[in-house]
């Protein structure tokens, strides 16, 4: 199935959760990560159960520290 992540089209398997997507994209902790799907923020506690749909528009934001 095709979705958009930060305005880039991406193919993922059918029946994929937000948590599975993040595990596929990033290694390590999801600390400091925020995700919006179709302009709605998805709370972290819903990541394991929120299923992605074809043509979802996803925005991923990762907070970083700097000096």
Mean pLDDT of all residues in 47-55: 98
Q: What is the DSSP letter of 14?
A: S
User: What confidence score (pLDDT) does residue 28 get?
Assistant: 74
Per-residue tokens: 5: 């992540």
The whole domain housing 18 covers 2-62
Q: Which residue has the higher pLDDT, 30 or 23?
A: 23
- In the numeric block, which tokens belong to residue 37? 């799907």
**What distances in angstroms separate CA 44 from CA 9, 11, 50, one per listed residue?**
23, 23, 10
Do the Cβ atoms of 60 and 67 come closer than 8 Å? Answer: no
Residue 55 lies in a domain: yes
The answer to whether residue 8 is domain-embedded is: yes
Number of domains the chain is built from: 1
pLDDT at 45 > cutoff 80: yes
Q: How far is CA 64 from the centre of its chain?
A: 17
Domain presence at residue 67: no
> What confidence score (pLDDT) does residue 52 get?
98
- pLDDT digit string (tens) for 8-24? 999 999 999 999 999 99
Give the domain CATH number at 23.
3.10.20.30
């Amino acid at each position: 199935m095709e979705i958009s992540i930060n305005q880039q089209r991406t193919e993922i398997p059918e029946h994929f959760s937000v948590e599975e997507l993040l595990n596929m994209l990033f290694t390590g902790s999801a600390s400091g990560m925020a995700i919006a799907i179709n302009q709605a923020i998805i709370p972290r506690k819903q990541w394991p159960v929120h299923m992605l749909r074809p043509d979802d528009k996803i925005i991923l934001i990762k907070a970083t520290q700097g000096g």
